[in-house]
C-alpha cells in the first residue's frame, strides 16, 4: 500500500497548480533555460518525492533548484546540493551510486526516500509561508504513507521545520520545548508503538559546503547516526 499511495501523491504533485505564481516562474525558467543547459528539455513542473516506498529513512529538503530539480524532475538532481548529497547517501549504503544527473541515470535509493517542503522552484530559492502551507498536505501524506518510518533527516532550517510540523500533523507526539535547530540536533516523536527520531542537518547547499559550514565528515555523521538508529530498531 505504501507504493500505491506514494504513486498517487506523485501524480497529484506533478499536476498541482495551487501556486499560480510558482507555476509561471518554473515555466519561464524552463523556457529561458540556463546557457549551460540550453539544449536540454526542462521538467518545469512540480517535483515529486523520490526513493524506496518501504523506506525507514526520510529526507526533507527545502525546494527544487530552478536549474536543478526543475530541470531534471528529481529531488537534488543536477545541482551542487545533489552533488554533495548523493555521494554521502552512497557512502552510507542508502544509494546504489554516488551521482544523480537525470531521471534515467539508474540511481536507486535503498531504505531511503527524499522529498521537500516545497515542490516548485521558488524565485531566489525563497518560498513564502503561503506557498509552504499549500504544499504541506503532500508532505503529511508522505509521512503517513511511509509506514516503516524510523528516521527523519531535516535538511536545513526550513526542511527541518516542515518535517517537525508534518510529524505532528501525521499524529506523532513530540515536544520542541528548549529545542533549537542545529547540525545533529535530535527530537523524538512517538505514535502508538512507533518511535521516530528526527535529526537536523545543515543543508548541503553550495553556500554551506563551499564555506566549510558543512563538511563531508559532518554530513557523513548524520547518516551514520541514522544507520545506528536503524540497527537499534532491529536489535
Write out the H or E segment, with its range, that includes residue 153.
strand 151-155
What counts of helices (H) and strands (E) characterise the chain? 8, 6
What is the structure's pLDDT at 232? 83
Q: Which CATH number fits domain 2-234: 3.40.470.10, 3.30.379.10, 3.40.50.2300, 3.90.330.10?
A: 3.40.470.10
Q: What are the extents of the domains in the chain?
A: 2-234
Q: How far apart are CA 58 and CA 76, in angstroms?
A: 14
Residues 82, 88 contacting (CB under 8 angstroms)? no
Separation of CA 176 from chain center: 21
Whole-model pTM? 0.96
**What is the tens place of the pLDDT at every residue in 80-134?**
999 999 999 999 999 999 999 999 999 999 999 999 999 999 999 999 999 999 9
Q: In what order do the strands lie in the sheet with 151-155?
A: 50-51, 112-116, 57-61, 151-155, 194-201, 186-191
Q: What is the mean pLDDT of residues 48-56?
A: 98
Taking the CA atoms of residue 175, residue 176, residue 177 and residue 179 in that order, the dihedral angle to the nearest 10 degrees is 140
pLDDT confidence bin for 235, thresholds 50/70/90: very low
C-alpha span between 235 and 232 (Å, rounded): 5
pLDDT digits (tens, 9 = 90+) for 215-229: 999 999 999 999 999
Amino acid at each position: 500500500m505504501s507504493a500505491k499511495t506514494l504513486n498517487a501523491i506523485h501524480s497529484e504533485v506533478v499536476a498541482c497548480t495551487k501556486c499560480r505564481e510558482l507555476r509561471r516562474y518554473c515555466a519561464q525558467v524552463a523556457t529561458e533555460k540556463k546557457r549551460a543547459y540550453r539544449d536540454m528539455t526542462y521538467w518545469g513542473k512540480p517535483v515529486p518525492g523520490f526513493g524506496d516506498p518501504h523506506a525507514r529513512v526520510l529526507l526533507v529538503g527545502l525546494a527544487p533548484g530552478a536549474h536543478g530539480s526543475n530541470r531534471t524532475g528529481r529531488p537534488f538532481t543536477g545541482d551542487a546540493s545533489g552533488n554533495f548529497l548523493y555521494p554521502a547517501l552512497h557512502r552510507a549504503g542508502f544509494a546504489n551510486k554516488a551521482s544523480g544527473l537525470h531521471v534515467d541515470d539508474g540511481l536507486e535509493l535503498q531504505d531511503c526516500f527524499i522529498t521537500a517542503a516545497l515542490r516548485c522552484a521558488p524565485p531566489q530559492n525563497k518560498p513564502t509561508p503561503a506557498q509552504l502551507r499549500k504544499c504541506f498536505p503532500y508532505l503529511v501524506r508522505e509521512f503517513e504513507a511511509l509506514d516503516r518510518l524510523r528516521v527523519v533527516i531535516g535538511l536545513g532550517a526550513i526542511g527541518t521545520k516542515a518535517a517537525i510540523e508534518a510529524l505532528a500533523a501525521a499524529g506523532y507526539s513530540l515536544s520542541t520545548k528548549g529545542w533549537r535547530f542545529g547540525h545533529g540536533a535530535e527530537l523524538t516523536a512517538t505514535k502508538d508503538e512507533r518511535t521516530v527520531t528526527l535529526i537536523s542537518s545543515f543543508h548541503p547547499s553550495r553556500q554551506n559546503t563551499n564555506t566549510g559550514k558543512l563538511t563531508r565528515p559532518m554530513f557523513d555523521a548524520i547518516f551514520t547516526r541514522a544507520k545506528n538508529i536503524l540497527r537499534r530498531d532491529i536489535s
